[in-house]
């Protein structure tokens, strides 16, 4: 992700300030052990389409991701922001609690 950067032994999300260890992110590449659920409790997987359930302001930017925006072909990654996606406004890492499976 272009907005994350390494800082010592951690990765840092420049948008929200969340930090997570590099070791956990690299070892978290097994998608078999990880279960990610949307806001309704539906299990998400790579390639699913989702919809935003609320407006999300992007920190450090004037961009607002609008409620009801559809995101196609998500990718699940490790860390607190477990969904990686591309939208018209750019690439974003989102928390699954703000998404609903379509």
Backbone angles phi, psi at 76, to 5 degrees: -90, 135
The percentage of the chain sitting over the pLDDT mark of 90, rounded to a whole number, equals: 51
| 5-43 per-position pLDDT tens digit | 888 888 888 888 788 887 754 554 554 567 899 999 999
Give the pLDDT score at 1: 57
| pTM (predicted TM-score) | 0.65
Catalogue all structural domains in the chain, each as residue range(s) with its CATH number: 31-101 (2.30.30.40)
pLDDT at position 33 is 64
Q: How far is CA 45 from CA 9, 72, 79, in A?
A: 28, 12, 15
């Amino acid at each position: 992700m272009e907005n994350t950067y390494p800082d010592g032994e951690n990765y840092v999300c420049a948008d929200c300030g969340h930090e997570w260890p590099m070791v956990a992110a690299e070892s978290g590449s097994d998608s078999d052990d990880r279960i990610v659920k949307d806001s309704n409790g539906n299990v998400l997987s790579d390639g699913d389409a989702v919809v935003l359930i609320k407006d999300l302001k992007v920190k450090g930017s004037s961009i607002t991701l609008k409620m009801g925006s559809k995101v196609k072909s998500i990718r699940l990654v490790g860390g607190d922001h477990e969904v990686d996606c591309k939208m018209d406004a750019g690439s974003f890492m989102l928390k699954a609690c703000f998404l609903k499976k379509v």
